[in-house]
Amino acid sequence: MARKDAPHYRAKHGAGETPAPALAEAVKKAAPEGRLSCRAAFEVAGSLRTNPSEVGKAADLLEVRLVECQLGLFGHGKGDKGKPLRPASSVSGQLEQAIRAALREGRLPCAEAWRIAADLRIKKIDVAEAAEAMGVKIGPCQLGAF
């Protein structure tokens, strides 16, 4: 959820919704000071064998802020430091082709960016920087942040 909505993340969801107790406990434990990093959210999802979107929803319901996007899109500080993503100076043909093939309605889903990074054995942020250079927006987020 965007910063303008903070701290009302739970408003994205139905009134009265609550996360499963084990999930709520894991999110709280992984979110010191009410901030849950993308990496920690995926660790929670893996440890509980649940979908990352459920962890993101639990974070919203608990008014926990998602930070430190592994694609460099948000949560790394204030101002320009908040989004360390910069357009790549060049994009290989292989990477450009992979990104274009993965587009859904003109956007690169976060999950597809992760898959491309794994397939090409490059950093996730390298895929995001290539997409930025190509003018391709990334979304939706696997955690539901955007």
Instruction: For residue 143, count other CB atoms closer than 10 A to its CB.
Output: 24
Global pTM reads 0.88
Taking only the tens place, the pLDDT of each residue in 4-51 is 555 688 888 988 899 999 999 999 999 989 999 999 999 999 999 999
Return the beta strands (E) in the chain as ranges.
Answer: 35-37, 65-67, 107-108, 137-138
Distance CA 6, CA 91 (A): 35
- Helix (H/G/I), strand (E/B), else coil: 79: helix
Say what angle helices 21-30 and 38-48 make with each other, to 10 degrees. 150
Distance CA 12, CA 61 (A): 9
**Taking 60 as the threshold, does the pLDDT of residue 2 lie above it?**
no
What pLDDT, on the 0 to 100 scale, is given for residue 141? 98
